[in-house]
Amino acid sequence: MNRGAMRTPLGRALGLGSARDGVEDWWRERVSAVALVPLTGWFAVSILAHAGDRYPAVISWLRSPVTTTLLVLLLIALFYHTALGLQVVIEDYVHSRAKFPALIGVRLGCIALAVAGIVATLVIAFGA
Amino acid sequence: MVQTLSGRPRPLSPNIQIYRPQLTSVLSIANRITGVALSVYAVALVIWLLAVAAGPDSYAVAHTFIRSWLGQILLFGGTFCFFMHFCGGIRHLAWDAGYGFSLRAIYASGWAVVAVSIALTLLTWAIEFAVAGYGR
């Protein structure tokens, strides 16, 4: 998404809207939302189908290549969307000195959780 | 009104302390609240995956917690938050694409979000209790 492609020439001429990366963040939040519609829909139906499953049944479900692929995609889109969403909430409501530590913490936390979730998924898929 | 460099007045946000709640504003903040709540459930999802990856013993601990009263209540709340944010998100995507901005359409889609979220939450748990069976 190149800078300003989503903005009108009039808005730019009048100096309205985001001064920096707001348009890009706005766009990325929506792209991740579009990805999450089928991914979370699939996950909700699947997890309901496996509700109450014992360990072997859960493992055999999670180990199928389709499940592993969709789960990794879900984790990426989910934590990308979460990072952007929480960033907006912090920017809107936190005006104290805690703002920047909170923004950095949310970003790093989302990256760490996404990596942990993906590694766990791959360990389940390829582990002994 | 706030004056900008261009001299054109810009609208101010409503002062929420004296602003009567209405469907539009309630759903707006509900989308944020459910989004923040779902980030906690996203952490729980990763913990669950780590528990499965760690083996049968840790999975059993997670399974027991999910099957407990507290776990079931939290999961029910999470189900509602998920469907609310899911439906509300689709409504937002429609707006972003330029559809549904008439007052009539905004209220119709708003009530649809409420009704569909409640219906899908109840349907999910009806399937969970009736088909999957409780207490396995």
Residue in B39, B46, B93 closest to A86 by CB: B39
Please report which residue ranges of chain A form alpha helices under DSSP H. Answer: 9-13, 22-49, 55-63, 65-93, 99-126
The CA distance from B53 to A119, in Å, is 9
- ipTM, two decimals, is 0.89
Tell me the mean pLDDT in the region B13-27.
85
pLDDT digits (tens, 9 = 90+) for A37-75: 999 999 999 999 988 788 999 999 999 999 999 999 999
Q: What is the pLDDT of residue B135?
A: 47
Percent of chain A with pLDDT over 90: 73
The pLDDT value recorded for residue B134 is 53
Tell me the three state secondary structure of residue A43.
Answer: helix
**Cross-chain CB nearest to A89 (options B32, B53, B127):** B32
State how far residue A29 is from chain B, nearest Cα, in angstroms. 10
Does B133 sit within 8 Å of A58, measured CB to CB?
A: no
Contacts of B67 (CB under 8 A, 6+ apart): A52, B135
In a domain, A96, yes or no: yes
Q: Give the start-to-end residue ranges of the domains of chain B.
A: 23-132
- Longest CA span, chain B: 68
- Is residue A112 within 8 Å of A69, Cβ to Cβ? no
Number of domains in chain A: 1
A7 band by pLDDT with thresholds 50, 70 and 90 = confident
Is A11 inside a domain boundary? no
Q: Does the predicted TM-score (pTM) go above 0.80?
A: yes
**Tokens representing residue B53 in the block:** 């990856």
Distance in angstroms (rounded) separating the CA atoms of residues B24 and A63:
43
Q: Best of A79, A88, A108 to disrupt the B interface by mutation (most B CBs within 10 Å)? A: A79
Across A9-18, average pLDDT:
79
Q: Where in the sequence is the domain holding A25, given as residue range(s)?
A: 21-126
CATH of the domain at A45: 1.20.1300.10
Residue B3 binned pLDDT confidence (cut-offs 50, 70, 90): low
> Which residues lie closer than 8 Å to A12 by C-beta, 6 or more apart?
A4
Cα–Cα distance list, A13 to A4, A23, A49, A121, B118 (Å)? 12, 16, 54, 48, 45
pLDDT score of A1 more than 60: no
Q: Is the pLDDT of residue B136 over 50?
A: no
| Residue B34 and residue B84 in contact, taking contact as beta carbons nearer than 8 Å | yes
User: Mean pLDDT score of chain B, rounded to an integer?
Assistant: 91
Distance, in Å, from the CA atom of A116 to the CA atom of B50, rounded to the nearest integer, reads: 8
C-alpha A124/C-alpha B7 separation (Å) is: 61
Which chain A residues touch B8 with a CB distance below 8 Å? 14
pLDDT in tens, A96-117: 999 999 999 999 999 999 999 9
Query: Which residues in A lie closer than 8 A to residue B6 (C-beta atoms)?
Result: 14-15
CB contact under 8 A, A120 and B136: no
User: Does pLDDT of B16 surpass 80?
Assistant: no
Contact between A14 and B89 using a beta-carbon 8 Å cutoff: no
Is A80 near chain B, with CB under 8 Å?
A: no
Residue of A29, A82, A88, A110 best to disrupt the B interface, most CBs of B under 10 A: A82
**Which of A33, A85, A120 shows the shortest C-beta gap to B49?**
A120
DSSP-derived letter for residue A50 is T
Question: What fold characterizes domain B23-132?
Answer: 3 helical TM bundles of succinate and fumarate reductases (1.20.1300)
